[in-house]
Amino acid sequence: MIVGIDLGTTNSLCAVFQDGQPVIIPSSHGRSLTPSIVGVLDSGELLVGDAARDLRVTRPQHVASRFKRLMGTQETVSLHSKQLNAAELSSLVLKSLKQDAEAYLGEDVTDAVITVPAYFNELQRRATKLAGELAGLRVNRIINEPTAAALAYGFHDRDAEKNLLVIDLGGGTFDVTMMEVFEGTLEIIASAGESTLGGEDFTDRLLGHVLQTMQMHLESAEIRLPLMVSRLRDECERAKRQLGNVEQIDIRIPEDDGHFAESPRTVSITTALFSEIVQPLLERVRRPIARVLRDAGLSPDQVEDVILVGGATRMPVLKTCVREIFDQEPLCTHNPDEVVALGAAIQAALLSNDEAVQDIVMTDVCPFTLGVEITKHIGGHDVEGFFLPIIHRNTTLPVSAEEIVSTVRANQREVVIRVYQGEHRKIEGNLSLGELRVTGIPPAPAGVPIRIRFTYDLNGLLEVEALVDSTGRKFSTVLTNHAQHLSKKEIEDAVSKLQDLKFYPRDEVENQQLLRFSERVLGEISPQERQAFEEIIDSFEIAMASGDPSYFQQVRAFLLERLSELGFPHDSGEGSAE
Ligand code: ADP
Ligand code: MG
């Protein structure tokens, strides 16, 4: 059984193809979304998902979130005296999804299709694959999120013949993909995006604005008053979700310690003001859309369906922006949170040759240009640093392409092929992916030809080969100068480093979440209510450890009842403490 996983910046989901349909696997809390958040308790135990999200509000230093943005870099996040990089943190989220899937399916889950933003570069894709391996999953395929989304739409609308545009605005990434559906064949025509733009930026802008009215800056406030800022960010997140549906909203300002006073100060934000504050972000939304249309050679009115994916496309300001560009109502017939995971499950079904998908054919493109550095001979001088494209962006995958370069000096014995990804004419504007050393070139005048072949497979993984025809020697790589490329031993070491971070026992996860949720509510209620409620939380924590089930159930029921009375019913999940 291969599961499909949407490993998101904000939320992750797992789906599986069953009885001819993709279905979402519920988390241990019975929800479809698992927040991509990892927290560590003082005891050293790990919390992933909802419980970690609640912990973020009360103890932000114990929690790591939004780490997908660091994917493919060496940057680490410190978490309970451990330094963890994005692949390691992501592996913890994947492990949690894996456990949920195993509980749901009643069998071991060893294989997965994982989605990434189309705009993810080579290093980010490898880091994602590594995260899967660290979680004990064989990653059968990495696929682009918009491709997965389109697959989910195409699966239900197989006889259609049209141009679809998928717009995916998640928490931290933005992707736009043009595709053509024709008798069950889904062909990706072009894709573009921005790897650092998402719904969280809209929240941050609003947060920055509110802090500004208080003569504060986000960066410095975050260091000085982390609890106040984390609670205020929560308020801004809530406001962001409502603005556009309501004309105006009052954002409550927490005290410096993160609690709300009896009647807190408020800052009032209108929908019109919000739209003004986020204008620069909407401009950034427009650019990749224009680029995809240009690359596909289509005008906005030639796009039959515009599909919205990702939680942030629920914002009315975003819908308005899309409506303006295309002069049509965007489609959101599938739940925008779930559609990528559902598509990943369909891809998993394609890989296992499931009968229900036999008539579907999928082609994808390489979303960026790949090439090598060359030296140009200009005005009698050799000038280094130019970029020679080998595979052009939006070429259909899989692809193998060749270019011939040559030695620049007489008797040059060695050439270092430096591989880059990007759209700039010069390498300094592009991303370095690694290098390949070609040695043993026989002495000869300058101009010995070296054939460079790039092969880019459906996983979006690049193989580079160099062939010196005069010697018949062939060199190939696997670009090795990046830490994302770990040896077996290094992977084992990374796994054992993660091993002493223990997952909370599954049957207790729910109680942990209730505890964190209650702690979070503590900051929302009035000082009068606070003390009595704090005592109930204390009793709950003690009852959890007491090992007396009937006593525990009693205290738990009492806590749930009190939460409801305070206006924070726990079972509603996305409740008002959200
Ligand atoms: P990712 O794919 O990056 O994990 P999601 O697709 O889950 O992200 O989207 C998360 C983003 O969607 C967050 O920034 C969140 O604030 C935003 N979001 C979720 N629901 C809403 C809503 N109702 N209105 C506005 N934004 C929303
Ligand atoms: Mg997403």
Cα(89) to ligand 2 centroid in Å equals 17
Shared domain check, 397 and 326: no
Cut 0.85: pTM above it: no
Q: Is 185 exposed, middle or buried (0-12, 13-18, 19+ CB in 10 A)?
A: middle
Shared domain check, 483 and 388: yes
User: CB neighbours (10 Å) of residue 237?
Assistant: 17
Q: Which ligand 1 atom is the nearest neighbour of the CA of 203?
A: 16
Calculate what percentage of the chain has a pLDDT beyond 70. Answer: 96
Q: Whose CA is nearest to atom 23 of ligand 1?
A: 241
In this structure, what CATH number is given to the domain that contains residue 387?
A: 2.60.34.10
Cα(339) to ligand 1 centroid in Å equals 13
pLDDT tens figures, 57-110: 888 889 999 999 899 888 999 887 788 999 999 999 999 999 999 999 999 999
Ligand nearest to the CA of 335: 1
Is the Cβ–Cβ distance between 48 and 93 less than 8 Å? yes
Asked if residue 290 belongs to a domain, the reply is yes
Q: Which ligand 1 atom is the nearest neighbour of the CA of 169?
A: 6
Shared domain check, 316 and 412: no
Ligand nearest to the CA of 170: 1
Shared domain check, 292 and 396: no
Cα(189) to ligand 2 centroid in Å equals 20
Q: Which ligand 1 atom is the nearest neighbour of the CA of 202?
A: 14
Confidence of residue 148 (pLDDT cuts 50, 70, 90): very high
Q: Whose CA is nearest to atom 24 of ligand 1?
A: 241
Asked if residue 45 belongs to a domain, the reply is yes
Q: Which ligand 1 atom is the nearest neighbour of the CA of 10?
A: 4
Asked if residue 296 belongs to a domain, the reply is yes
In this structure, what CATH number is given to the domain that contains residue 125?
A: 3.30.420.40
Asked if residue 260 belongs to a domain, the reply is no
Among 346, 365, 384, give the residue marking a domain's end: 365
Task: Read off the DSSP letter of residue 81.
Answer: T
Cα(549) to ligand 2 centroid in Å equals 40
Cα(345) to ligand 2 centroid in Å equals 15
Query: What mean pLDDT, rounded, does the chain reach?
Result: 89
Report pLDDT for 574: 43
Cα(365) to ligand 2 centroid in Å equals 19
Rounded CA-CA distance 514/561 in Å is 12
Q: Using most ligand atoms within 8 A of CB, pick from 7, 10, 50 the residue to mutate for ligand 1.
A: 10
Report pLDDT for 459: 66
Calculate what percentage of the chain has a pLDDT beyond 90. Answer: 57
Confidence of residue 573 (pLDDT cuts 50, 70, 90): very low
Report pLDDT for 486: 59
Domain extent at residue 530: 509-565
Q: Which ligand 1 atom is the nearest neighbour of the CA of 68?
A: 3
Is the Cβ–Cβ distance between 455 and 399 less than 8 Å? yes
Shared domain check, 489 and 513: no
Q: Is 328 exposed, middle or buried (0-12, 13-18, 19+ CB in 10 A)?
A: middle
Q: Whose CA is nearest to atom 13 of ligand 1?
A: 171
**Rg of the chain's alpha carbons, rounded to an integer?**
26
Q: Using most ligand atoms within 8 A of CB, pick from 7, 115, 241 the residue to mutate for ligand 1.
A: 241
402 to each of 9, 210, 437, 467, 495, how far by Cα in Å?
Answer: 36, 54, 17, 10, 38
Rounded CA-CA distance 299/430 in Å is 29
pLDDT tens figures, 279-289: 999 999 999 99
Report pLDDT for 412: 92
For 293-303, what is the mean pLDDT? Answer: 94
Q: Whose CA is nearest to atom 6 of ligand 1?
A: 310
Lowest average pLDDT, out of 335-339, 521-525, 532-536, goes to 521-525
62 to each of 9, 55, 179, 540, how far by Cα in Å?
Answer: 18, 8, 42, 22
Report pLDDT for 73: 87
Cα(9) to ligand 2 centroid in Å equals 7
Task: Check residues 58 and 576 and name the one with the higher pLDDT.
Answer: 58
Residue 142 has pLDDT above 60, yes or no: yes
Shared domain check, 479 and 454: yes
Rounded CA-CA distance 578/575 in Å is 6
Shared domain check, 97 and 18: yes
Question: Which of 33-37, 41-45, 191-195, 438-442 has the largest mean confidence?
Answer: 33-37
Catalytic site residues?
A: 6, 68, 145, 168
pLDDT tens figures, 444-453: 999 999 999 9
Contacts 24+ apart (CB under 8 A), 251-256: 251/206, 251/210, 253/210, 253/214, 254/227, 254/228, 254/523, 255/228, 256/225, 256/227, 256/228
Residue position matching structure tokens 């994982």: 114
Confidence of residue 482 (pLDDT cuts 50, 70, 90): very low
Q: Using most ligand atoms within 8 A of CB, pick from 6, 7, 9 the residue to mutate for ligand 1.
A: 9
Asked if residue 249 belongs to a domain, the reply is no
Residue 239 has pLDDT above 90, yes or no: yes
The helix/strand/coil state of 424 is coil
Q: Phi and psi for 454 in degrees, rounded to 5?
A: -105, 130
Asked if residue 503 belongs to a domain, the reply is no
Shared domain check, 425 and 311: no
Shared domain check, 22 and 6: yes
Residue 462 has pLDDT above 70, yes or no: yes
Ligand nearest to the CA of 117: 2
Among 365, 399, 425, give the residue marking a domain's end: 365
Among 439, 462, 497, give the residue marking a domain's end: 497
Cα(60) to ligand 2 centroid in Å equals 23
Shared domain check, 560 and 488: no
Ligand nearest to the CA of 337: 1
Q: Which ligand 1 atom is the nearest neighbour of the CA of 172?
A: 3
Report pLDDT for 480: 38
Confidence of residue 368 (pLDDT cuts 50, 70, 90): confident
Q: Which ligand 1 atom is the nearest neighbour of the CA of 336?
A: 6
Confidence of residue 481 (pLDDT cuts 50, 70, 90): very low
Rounded CA-CA distance 139/390 in Å is 27
Ligand nearest to the CA of 281: 1
Q: Which ligand 1 atom is the nearest neighbour of the CA of 6?
A: 2
Report pLDDT for 359: 80
Q: Whose CA is nearest to atom 19 of ligand 1?
A: 311
Residues within 6 Å of ligand 1 by CB: 8-11, 170-173, 198-200, 203, 237, 240-241, 310-312, 314-315, 337
Q: Whose CA is nearest to atom 16 of ligand 1?
A: 199
Cα(528) to ligand 2 centroid in Å equals 41
Residue 484 has pLDDT above 50, yes or no: no
Residue 127 has pLDDT above 80, yes or no: yes
Q: Is 345 exposed, middle or buried (0-12, 13-18, 19+ CB in 10 A)?
A: buried
Cα(442) to ligand 1 centroid in Å equals 58
Q: Whose CA is nearest to atom 10 of ligand 1?
A: 171
Beta-carbon contacts of 385 under 8 Å, excluding residues fewer than 6 positions away, are: 373, 375, 426, 427, 428
Ligand nearest to the CA of 93: 1
Lowest average pLDDT, out of 126-140, 219-233, 476-490, 517-531, goes to 476-490
Asked if residue 383 belongs to a domain, the reply is yes
- Total domains present in the chain: 3
Shared domain check, 146 and 179: yes
Shared domain check, 380 and 340: no
Q: Using most ligand atoms within 8 A of CB, pick from 314, 335, 574 the residue to mutate for ligand 1.
A: 314
For the CA atoms of 218, 223, 225, 227, the dihedral, rounded to the nearest 10 degrees, stands at 100
Rounded CA-CA distance 324/318 in Å is 10
User: CB neighbours (10 Å) of residue 141?
Assistant: 21
Confidence of residue 487 (pLDDT cuts 50, 70, 90): low
Report pLDDT for 478: 56
For 422-434, what is the mean pLDDT? Answer: 90
